[in-house]
Amino acid sequence: MEVIAAARMLDLPDWAIGAGFVRNLVWDHLHGRTDATPLNDIDVLFFDPDDLSRVSEDRLQTRLSGTMPDQPWSVRNQARMHVGNGDAPYRNTLHAMSCWLETATAIGVRQSAKGQLDLLAPFGTADLFALRVAPTEAGVRKRQAYLSRVRSKGWLDMWPRLELVITDDAAASPRR
């Protein structure tokens, strides 16, 4: 909750903390772990089409590091991320998340000024709670990137009960 509160204090438009921050917590719990798996980064997402500069992201990341220096912050404006991902422009943070490669990672949380937690999950939470790593439509289209990402992250070693869903090139239908 301290991490979420720190991100909320930036007062970013259409923001959330996504990906491993939520996913790892759920997978650790479902694997019966009491100690959290260390995070590679804490993905703070926001959507601001009026300021696409990387410099602004760096400034925000520095502010968070000043607040909580022991955390691996990563702040990214989703209004510019489509370029590097080879996608059409995103409309908002939820739309950007729907273009991520796997369903269980496309999840985020944010807190309103009144303290209410909101969940962003363009594909729902079923795969996350079923310990299923499945490709999104983008993951099907970018099959090699999806497979490479799963391998490089080492998720199947860290959470051995995970089920990996792989699509066939020709049919683009999942097989387990």
Strands (DSSP E) along the chain, which ranges?
A: 16-18, 42-46, 73-77, 108-111, 117-120, 132-133, 163-164, 166-167, 174-175
Fold of 2-124: Beta Polymerase; domain 2 (3.30.460)
CA 61 to chain CA centroid, Å, is 16
pLDDT band (50, 70, 90) for residue 169:
low
* Domain extent listing, the chain: 2-124
- pLDDT tens-place string over residues 69-92: 999 999 999 999 998 888 899 999
- pLDDT tens-place string over residues 107-120: 999 998 889 999 99
Question: What integer pLDDT is reported at residue 176 of this predicted model?
Answer: 45
Question: What integer pLDDT is reported at residue 113 of this predicted model?
Answer: 82
Per-chain mean pLDDT for the chain: 93
- pTM confidence score: 0.89
* Three-class secondary structure of residue 75 per DSSP: strand
Strands 117-120 and 132-133: unpaired
Distance CA 16, CA 45 (A): 5
